[in-house]
Structure 1
Amino acid sequence: MKKFPFEKEIIRLLDNTPFYIYDEKGILKSLKKLQSAFFWCDFKEYFAVKATPTPYILKILGKNNCGMDCSSLVELYLSEMVNIIGENILFTSNNTPLKEYKKAYDLGAIINFDDIGHINKFVKKIGIPKIASIRYIPKESYGTDIIGDPLNSKFGMPFDNIIEGYKKMKELGVKRFGFHSMLVSNTLEEDLIEKNTEIIFRTVKRISDILNIEFEFIDIGGGFGIPYKPEDKELDIDKLGNEIRELYEKYFIEFKPKIFTENGRYITGSHGYLITKVLHIKESYKTYVGVDASMANLMRPGMYKAYHHITVLGKEGKNKKYDVVGSLCENNDKFAIDRELPELEEGDILIIHDVGAHGHSMGFNYNGKLRSAEYIYDGKDIKMIRRAQTLDDYFSTIQGGDIYV
């Protein structure tokens, strides 16, 4: 049974629903577990900023030897805001405007190219990157149910393009090289990550032999999953680390590349909660529980039919089936369908678990919904780390002559 770790502490905030709250100690514990699993190599986690782009969280991760995996101009500025710069940033972007590449270059970031065409443009318009890598997408990989069939992926390059890309970078004067691939998403199966990592290691060794490149780092991507359902097993990160170590020792004898990962969900996912209040209970063909949060606060259930566990503050048991829904003018605005919960009444507080990644960050303003606040509990105090959006915020960008009466 999933438990909410600080029920008493949030009582004073319950007039402010809906809101997000994170467990700071839990986040850092997950980071330390990941770092410990790769103790045997020169390892660095580059946190996927897109998962939880909240400066306070980025800052505490940076203080604990975590880099930032950035994919946009704003994410680069967020990283700079918390003084994470230089090669502590890995910039991986797709269909990237030059001004975003320029910002990454100015910050001294590692540049990860997604296409050959970007390389010439970058060097001609911006300069020679101090260190660069290329994103690889093989014809086949393992566990692609979520991330998709590689042959239909808009990300990365096939092997022949990779070879051409590294040749081009050498000709243009790049001296330091890395390698990148992201082949799986949200998996709890160690063997899938291991099999994909072997594809990556084997490819790096092959390129090194062909082009005489000693790669400084290999980014094996992210995709390490978390147990969303109470019955799900947790990823055995120590076992995974040992399995990757065996592969590393098999493939890399002449040179010893650093190992990077770029997890978001594994670090913060299990340590975030969306707190929402029951506004109305409707009896129709089934029983609907209407809450003050909506898909605008948490998109994953409506977008992916993703499961998020729900508990009720101060209540236990499974007495009745409900659909838990928001107020958007869309029928997929549902957090749960036919979910067994304690018998509910107006005013009850629902806690939606495991929303610490791809939760608040994917929020939106459809139907004029305002973005919710974010709080964090550090073991002593609850701090607001992002205030709720206001009506003034929403209307501040509107232009258009004499639209106001």
Structure 2
Amino acid sequence: MPMSADFRACALPRLDAIAAHFGTPFHLYDETGIRTTGARLLRAFAGVAGFNEFYAVKALPNPQILRILHSMGFGFDCSSIAELELARSIGARAEALMFTSNNTSAEEFAAAAADGGCILNLDDASLIDKVPQMPECVCFRYNPGAARSGNVIIGNPVEAKYGVPHEQLLDAYARARARGARRFGLHTMLASNERNAQYMIDTIAMLLEQAARLRQALGIELAFINMGGGLGIAYRPDDTPFDLEHLGARACELLGEYAHIHGRAPALHMESGRYMTGPHGVLVTRALNRKDSYRTFIGVDACMSALMRPGMYGAYHHIDVLGKAPAATDLPVDVVGSLCENNDKFAIQRPLPPISDGDLLVIHDTGAHGHAMGFNYNGKLRPQELLLRSNGTVERIRRAETLADYFATLNFEADLLPV
């Protein structure tokens, strides 16, 4: 969605100076916006005992961003050793960490158990016997199969590689308990960028149904259920925003009904990434060239390696041209990078104000799955990340990659397996 009014008011008047000081391109994140969203989330779920958000580190894996979220009391959802290390580097420990990987290796199990451990969320029943030491608290990722439909991004649960099938779930908990687990959670993740709150409400109801099933069949009282992430944001200006307050109210009601029947209810966790930081980041890039061919192309100094979503998913990201207001007479252009791929486009046939070489373009909603999904094809280097602090200062929180970084893995000790 378009930048918040506060972000716009603080950032845009200074953007020329920021670009002159730091150079382009860069991702710019808004600390105030992140904190405002975090506070809104806590208010919406204030009536839910034991509620917590485990921020999905994959969305924006920068320690300065994680520190902001950690200071608000949030935990972290990690899916790799690097993400665990990032979260631990800013002070998160033990049950403030949820480790959800798939096809988990022995090295990853060791990392999960190190330094105080974490909540271990197993993706597959076959992993139960592969955990070297079963932790006290274990969770399983649930895949309901044909009982639920996914959405466009994640797809049909029957086709998904993730999660324990319905018919294997009871046995998975029984086996984990036999190996020493004493506290249990239940997790799922069925949708991504979903703006229909009812879908998430139905997911909570589904998890509570499985909690009752586990209670009746095995006598297991779940410590928590985790509805996953997937809360969507309004990328287009006319998209309907996600109704967070409705979700919070219905979650409170559902958990209250469960507690009335069963005497107590599990805590509710979630692991939103995009919703927490997505709208609070922009990619700022400078126009380099205008090419008039069969259509008009505006070439900029960022490329798909800085923001993959439009090229990979055909995703819409709103674009402003700094200092130029849109008008009904604006002509459509393609905004493109310099990658040797034809899908290296930030916008296709988008009406935009007339753009001159040197103009700054502001590409919205890059605070999640922007820099994090970057890559080095064509030897392209990922850009720097900046943070607009709540006190108005602008801080570099990741430098741009250099050629030395790119070539670093070619500097190694020779190793040869003889014939």
Kindly indicate whether residue 250 of structure 2 is the aligned counterpart of residue 255 of structure 1.
no
**TM superposition score normalised by structure 1:** 0.96
Within the alignment, does 1:65 sit opposite 2:73 as a pair? Answer: yes
Give the secondary structure class of the aligned counterpart of 2:138: strand
Cα deviation, residue 101, structure 1: 1.5
Aligned length: 399
In structure 2, do the counterparts of structure 1 residues 141 and 366 end up closer, same or farther at CA, with 3 Å as the change threshold?
same
Equivalent residue number for residue 137 of structure 1: 143
Letter in 1 for 2:62: T
- The CA deviation string for residues 30-70 of structure 1, in whole angstroms up to 9 with x for no partner, is 11111211111211100000000000000111111010000
* Counterpart position of 1:14: 19
State the SS of the aligned residue for 2:222.
Answer: coil
Q: What is the CA distance between 1:401 and its match in structure 2?
A: 8.4
- For 1:295 and 1:372, locate their aligned partners in 2 and report how far apart those are by CA, in whole Å: 11
Identify the match of residue 78 of structure 1 among 71, 74, 86: 86
Question: Which letter maps to 2:409?
Answer: T
The AA in structure 2 aligned to 1:130 is E
In structure 1, the residue matched to 2:384 is 373
**1-structure distance, mates of 2:295, 2:281:** 30
Which whole-Å CA distance do the structure 2 matches of 1:297 and 1:152 have between them? Answer: 30
Which residue of structure 1 lines up, in the alignment, with residue 171 of structure 2? Answer: 164
**1:257 and 1:118 mapped to 2: Cα distance?**
24
Partners of 1:323 and 1:102 lie apart in 2 by: 48
1:143–1:192 CA contact under 8 A, matched in 2: no
The answer to whether structure 1 residue 45 and structure 2 residue 45 are counterparts is: no
SS of 1:7's partner is helix
Instruction: Determine if contact 2:26/2:285 at 8 Å carries over to the other structure.
Output: yes
Say which is worse superposed, 234-243 or 99-108, in terms of deviation: 99-108
* Aligned position for 2:125: 116
> How far did 1:394 drift?
1.3
Q: Name the SS for the 1:396 alignment partner.
A: helix
1:95 equivalenced with 2:106 (yes/no): no
Give, in whole Å, the separation in 1 of the partners of 2:205 and 2:98: 22
Amino acid corresponding to residue 241 of structure 2 in structure 1: E
Q: Does 1:54 align with 2:62?
A: yes
Q: Aligned residues: percent identity?
A: 44
Please identify runs of 4+ aligned residues in structure 1 that moved more than 3 A: 399-402
Return the offset for 1:144.
2.0
Give the SS at the match of 1:213.
coil
1:97, 1:193 → 2: CA distance? 31
Q: Report the alpha carbon displacement of residue 400 of structure 1 after superposing the two structures with TM.
A: 7.2
Does the C-alpha gap of structure 1 residues 79 and 400 become closer, same or farther in structure 2, counting only changes over 3 Å?
closer
Question: What residue number does 1:336 align with?
Answer: 347
Q: Deviations over 1:133-185 (max 9, x none)?
A: 00000023245222110100000011221111100011111111111111111
Amino acid at match of 2:63: P
Contact map agreement 1:311 1:350 (CA 8 A) in 2: yes
Equivalent residue number for residue 272 of structure 1: 281
Distance in 2 separating the partners of 1:320 and 1:145:
31
- Give the direction of change, closer, same or farther, for the CA distance of 1:102–1:275 in structure 2 (3 Å limit): same
Q: Which residue of 2 aligns with 1:244?
A: 251
How do residues 328-367 of structure 1 correspond to structure 2 at under 5 angstroms? 328-367=339-378
1:8-39 per-residue CA deviation (whole Å, 9 max, x = no partner) reads 23322324111000000101111111121111
User: How big is the shift at 1:103?
Assistant: 1.2
Higher mean C-alpha deviation, range 289-298 or range 188-197: 188-197
Are the counterparts in 2 of residues 142 and 196 from structure 1 also a CA contact under 8 Å? no
The alpha carbon displacement at 1:195 in A equals 1.6
User: Which residue of 2 is the match for residue 297 of structure 1?
Assistant: 306
Task: Tell me, yes or no, if the aligned pair for 2:319 and 2:364 is still in contact at 8 Å.
Answer: yes
1:30 equivalent to 2:37? Answer yes
Q: 2:204 aligns with which of 197, 208, 211?
A: 197
Take 1:192 and 1:170, find their aligned partners in 2: how far apart are those partners? 31
CA RMSD of aligned residues (A): 1.4
- The runs of 5 or more residues in structure 2 that have no matched partner are 415-419
The SS at the match of 2:2 is coil
| SS at 1:210 equivalent | helix
Q: Distance in 2 between matches of 1:401 and 1:281?
A: 46
Once the two structures are superposed, what CA deviation does each residue of 1:178-206 show, in whole Å capped at 9, x if it has no partner?
11111111111111111222112111211
Q: Return the letter of the residue paired with 1:393.
A: D
1:371 CA displacement: 1.1
Deviations 1:191-233 (A, max 9, x none): 1111222112111211221110011110011111111000112
Q: Which runs of 5+ in 1 are unaligned?
A: none
What's 1:286 paired with?
295
* C-alpha distance in 2 between matches for 1:111 and 1:40: 27
Take 1:137 and 1:2, find their aligned partners in 2: how far apart are those partners?
34
**Alpha-carbon deviation of 1:281?**
0.4
- Tell me the alpha carbon deviations over residues 348-380 of structure 1, each in whole angstroms, 9 at most, x when there is no partner: 110000010000000011111111000001132
Q: Distance in 2 between matches of 1:341 and 1:150?
A: 39
Partner of 1:147: 154
In terms of mean alpha carbon deviation, does 192-201 or 295-304 score higher? 192-201
Instruction: Give 3-state SS (helix, strand or coil) of 1:104's partner.
Output: helix
Amino acid at match of 1:54: N
